[in-house]
Amino acid sequence: MKIEKVYLWSDLPWDIAIAQGMKPDSVLNELDAIKDKNSDEWWLESKKFESIANTKLAEKLWIDIYNGKLPVRKSNGDPLDGDSKKFHFVGVNAPHLTRDEGNAWLEANRYQQIWGPTTKRSYDSDAKPWLVADPKDPTPAQPWYTPARYFARQLIKDDSTLLLKRLPLADKVSKSLDKVGIYKRGGVKPLAADTILKAFSNVKLG
């Protein structure tokens, strides 16, 4: 059976919180307050704010996912099997749900809400596509690996010769990361090209 659409697990509490009147701007204001932290910390904090938009519901959902009480999928819709301790909040191994699976879980846990995933969110992959991991990529060892790979692929689309020029490519990626506020630890200096090369290991960029 073909799965038409799956959603990151934290979309469920986020969308219900918005339906109950939470304004996404309030979350974005919280993120602005921590924007001067280093990029790793900002990433973790931003995902935390997203996932706890409806805290109690999110905590119960994650516990049930962790304990294998509901089926979860990869971002491409395939079943996500294996040790739940290896699941990640975001990225390739992040649990995803279909709308029907999410609503079945809500009903089973006696939540009165109905989950209708929103098509427009103030903080989502449409606004920041560089945060969405390619399901074919290996699990990122650092949070900035995913955006680095995204920008590398975009640059190669514009100039295919960069596929054979890894260091110049990494240098351009560093500038792209700088433009969206992703820096090395400390949150001030851009990531060095030779460091960015680590994100390309065993990755098909073009």
Whether residue 206 lies inside any domain: the answer is no
Average pLDDT over residues 9-18: 80
Report the distance separating Cα 85 and Cα 11, nearest Å: 20
Of 52, 73, 65, nearest to 6 (Cα)?
73
pTM to 2 decimal places: 0.47
Helix pair 145-158, 166-179: axis angle to 10 deg: 110
Total domains in the chain come to: 2
pLDDT value of position 188: 67
When comparing pLDDT for 111 and 18, which is higher? Answer: 111
Indicate the DSSP class of residue 73: B
**What CA–CA distance (Å, rounded) separates 197 from 144?**
12
Claim to verify: residue 27 and residue 68 sit in the same structural domain: yes
Express each pLDDT in 45-80 by its tens digit: 555 554 445 667 888 888 898 888 888 888 888 888
pLDDT > 60? residue 41: no
The domain in which residue 39 lies consists of 7-126
Contact 27, 14 (CB under 8 A): no
Are both 27 and 116 inside the same structural domain? yes
pLDDT score at 110:
86
Q: Are residues 118 and 167 in the same domain?
A: no
What is the enclosing helix (H) or strand (E) of 37?
A: none
Q: Are 103 and 148 members of one domain?
A: no
User: What would the pLDDT profile of 134-179 be if each residue is shown by its tens digit?
Assistant: 878 888 888 788 889 999 999 999 899 999 999 999 999 999 888 8
CA distance 173 to 37: 21
Asked if 50 contacts 30 with a C-beta cutoff of 8 angstroms, the reply is no
Q: How far does Cα 75 stand from its chain's mean position?
A: 10
27 and 118 part of one domain? yes
Q: What is the DSSP letter of 5?
A: -
3-class DSSP assignment, residue 148: helix
Domain end residue (candidates: 92, 126, 160): 126
Contacts by residues 185-190 (CB-CB < 8 Å, ≥ 24 positions apart): 185/38, 185/39, 185/40, 186/38, 187/36, 187/37, 187/38, 187/39, 187/41, 187/42
7 bridge partner residues: 97
Domain boundary among 109, 126, 143: 126
Closest CA to 131 of 101, 89, 78, 162: 89
> CA–CA distance from 149 to each of 67, 115, 118, 123, 163 (Å)?
32, 32, 27, 20, 12
Mean pLDDT of 99-110: 90
Q: Kindly report the average pLDDT of the chain as a whole number.
A: 77
